[in-house]
């Protein structure tokens, strides 16, 4: 495999660095770089301007990131979001992290999807929410397209169902408050453990 050249506008910043997204060398697809994060374009964007932002250190989970990495990653998401919203003439953004395999992650390297949105942009593909199904589809495609993963190896992904949101009753205030109380206590306990 030949090593692709970095993006010319990025050359100075990259200074010969090799940027990896999971096992994949993506240097030539990187358009923004910080000391701790990078942004790259997508092989099969769901919508124009769909890009990814990752930490430079290859770790699978958000919980694996240091505080400095977490801050830098999401400040980069904020900055890149502003960029693609403007460049692609959008008015909103979907920002999504599939944090772990059970959440749909298929490349074990933290990455935030940023997807510029505009009015009625997915009407012909099933409406506003279709973006998420397309997102999970892309993930598998991306991994395969780089030469990893075989058709048969991919997890079977059920097609999108009709989901009845209206059918479930909202919880009572008492139930919500009891859960909030439990979580507040557990948070206190977790933070005490971290200090120890």
Identify the CA nearest to 19 among candidates 32, 83, 77, 9.
Answer: 32
- Candidates 32, 50, 111, 124; catalytic one: 111
111 binds its own copies (CB under 8 A): no
Residue 55: other Cβ atoms inside 10 A: 24
Residue selected from 30, 52, 53, 107 as contacting its own copies according to rule CB under 8 A: 30
- Cβ-based nearer residue to its own copies, 107 or 131: 131
Site membership for its own copies, residue 143 (CB under 8 A): no
**Which pair of structure tokens corresponds to residue 178?**
């009891």
Q: CA 158 to CA 196: how far, in whole Å?
A: 44
Rounded Cα gap, residues 51 and 40, in angstroms: 6
Minimum gap (Å) between residue 18 Cβ and its own copies: 15
- Binding string, 65-104, against its own copies, x = CB under 8 A? x-x--xx-xxx-xxxxxxxxxxx--xxxxxxxxxxxxxxx
Place of tokens 């009015």: 119
Q: Say if residue 18 carries a ligand binding annotation.
A: no
Alpha-carbon distance 125 to 104, whole Å? Answer: 21
Confirm whether 111 is a catalytic residue: yes
Site membership for its own copies, residue 62 (CB under 8 A) = yes
Binding residues for substrate: 42, 98, 104-107, 113
């Amino acid at each position: 495999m030949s090593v692709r050249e970095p993006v010319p506008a990025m050359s100075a910043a990259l200074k010969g660095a090799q940027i990896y997204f999971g096992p994949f060398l993506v240097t030539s697809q990187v358009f923004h770089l910080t000391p701790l994060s990078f942004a790259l374009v997508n092989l099969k964007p769901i919508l124009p301007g769909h890009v990814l932002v990752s930490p430079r250190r290859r770790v699978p989970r958000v919980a694996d990131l240091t505080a400095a990495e977490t801050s830098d990653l999401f400040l980069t998401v904020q900055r890149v979001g502003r960029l693609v919203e403007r460049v692609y003439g959008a008015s909103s953004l979907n920002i999504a992290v599939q944090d772990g395999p059970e959440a749909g992650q298929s490349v074990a390297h933290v990455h935030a999807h940023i997807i510029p949105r505009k009015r009625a942009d997915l009407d012909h593909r099933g409406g506003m929410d279709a973006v998420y199904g397309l997102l999970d589809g892309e993930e598998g495609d991306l991994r395969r397209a780089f030469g990893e993963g075989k058709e048969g190896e991919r997890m079977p992904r059920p097609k999108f169902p009709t989901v009845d949101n209206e059918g479930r009753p909202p919880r009572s205030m008492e139930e919500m408050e009891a859960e909030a109380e439990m979580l507040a206590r557990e948070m206190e306990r977790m933070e005490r453990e971290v200090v120890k």
